[in-house]
Amino acid sequence: MAVKIEVDLSPADYQARAATGFGNAVCVVFDILRATSVMVTGLANGAAGFVPAAEIPEALALRSQHRNALLAGERNGLRITAAQSGGVEFDLGNSPREYTRDQVAGRIIISTTTNGTRALRAGVTAQSVAVASFLNLNATADWLAQQPTAQVILVCAGTAEFPALEDILGAGALCELLVRKLAKIQLLDSAETARRVYCEARLDLFGVISRSQNGRRLMANVELRDDVEFCLQRDSCNLVALLGADGVIRRSG
Ligand code: MLT
């Protein structure tokens, strides 16, 4: 039987699906700029795991379950300050370049971001949830090709309530890989759309993404502009990141 691939292109799509449940589907979440790129980078640099929290108070409350955890994430793209959290300076922002081995090795990281952690939380009812980015695309495709599932849903985290081009490009790049790796595959219209958008942009991904809404936002900030190129390093991390039943995202295997 062919594996059906669908893409939730915007937050409205994954919120609607979360309301009815993801059933037996395998779900893969993309927030290329930057939440899922951050998680993959942190795990590659030895972080013990990431705990996605939807809101700042939830992130603070989760510290009682994960003692000695780092608090991380962003609002408006920047590290969460004491003024925003009611008195606690977060340890890390949402730049993947902050997640060095020195900072994160062996640590649990509780993270709340605007859309990325929200998309991850929406997918929790799926049979399994993988965290993907351009950094671990091939490893994620290889893992997916081994899953005994009839349905794969690629979730694009988006920006606020709207689609984000870079997430659709990441999902489209994964569709393009899966077409080559799976013997029987059916791309539903949303997946075929993402794949075609990716194929059109693939030769100038940096140019296209740096002109996207999120790309422009990051490129306009001298401290964050290098994140765009960093998040496009294709297959720099040979790892699969999976959300466990305990709510922690860990490196698999
Ligand atoms: C998000 O979760 O919306 C993003 O990762 C935002 C960002 O990194 O600035």
All structural domains of the chain: 3-251 (3.90.1560.10)
Spacing, Cα 31 to ligand 1 middle (Å): 7
Instruction: Give 106's contacts (C-beta < 8 A, 6+ positions apart).
Output: 46, 47, 48
Computed over every residue of the chain, the mean pLDDT equals 96
Q: Report how far Cα 26 is from the mean position of its chain's Cα atoms.
A: 15
Tell me the C-alpha distance between 53 and 78, whole Å. Answer: 16
**With 70 as the cut, is the pLDDT of residue 248 above it?**
yes
Give the relative orientation of helices 165-181 and 189-201 as an angle to the nearest 10 degrees: 100
Spacing, Cα 212 to ligand 1 middle (Å): 14
Spacing, Cα 81 to ligand 1 middle (Å): 16
Task: Give pTM, 2 decimals.
Answer: 0.97
User: Could you read off the pLDDT of 42-94 as tens digits, one per residue?
Assistant: 999 999 999 999 999 999 999 999 989 999 999 999 999 999 999 999 999 99
Structural Rg of the chain based on CA atoms: 17
Listing from the earlier edge strand, what are the strands of the sheet with 185-187? 78-79, 70-75, 108-112, 49-52, 249-251, 241-243, 128-132, 26-30, 151-156, 3-8, 185-187
**Across 177-186, average pLDDT:** 95
Q: Would the CA dihedral through 78, 73, 17, 250 be positive or negative?
A: positive
Q: Which residue out of 115, 134, 219, 227 has the highest number of ligand 1 atoms within 8 Å of its CB and is therefore the one to mutate?
A: 115
Cβ(114) – ligand 1 distance below 6 Å: yes
H/E stretch holding 98: none
- Output the pLDDT for position 3: 95
Q: Would the CA dihedral through 60, 69, 39, 151 be positive or negative?
A: negative
pLDDT > 70 fraction of the chain, expressed in percent and rounded: 100
Cβ(128) – ligand 1 distance below 6 Å: no
**With 70 as the cut, is the pLDDT of residue 250 above it?**
yes
**Across 26-37, average pLDDT:** 97
CA distances from 234 to 21, 104, 207 (A): 31, 22, 15
H/E stretch holding 196: helix 189-201
Spacing, Cα 221 to ligand 1 middle (Å): 14
Q: Is 163 exposed, middle or buried (0-12, 13-18, 19+ CB in 10 A)?
A: middle
**Predicted confidence band of residue 1 (pLDDT cuts 50, 70, 90):** confident
**Nearest atom, ligand 1, residue 95 CA:** 8
- Output the pLDDT for position 125: 84
CA distances from 93 to 66, 110, 111, 189 (A): 19, 11, 9, 36
Amino acid, single-letter form, for residue 64: S
- Output the pLDDT for position 6: 97
- Output the pLDDT for position 83: 97
**Predicted confidence band of residue 124 (pLDDT cuts 50, 70, 90):** confident
User: Could you read off the pLDDT of 203-237 as tens digits, one per residue?
Assistant: 999 999 999 999 999 999 999 999 999 999 999 99
**With 90 as the cut, is the pLDDT of residue 123 above it?**
no
- Output the pLDDT for position 48: 98
**Across 93-103, average pLDDT:** 98
**Predicted confidence band of residue 253 (pLDDT cuts 50, 70, 90):** low
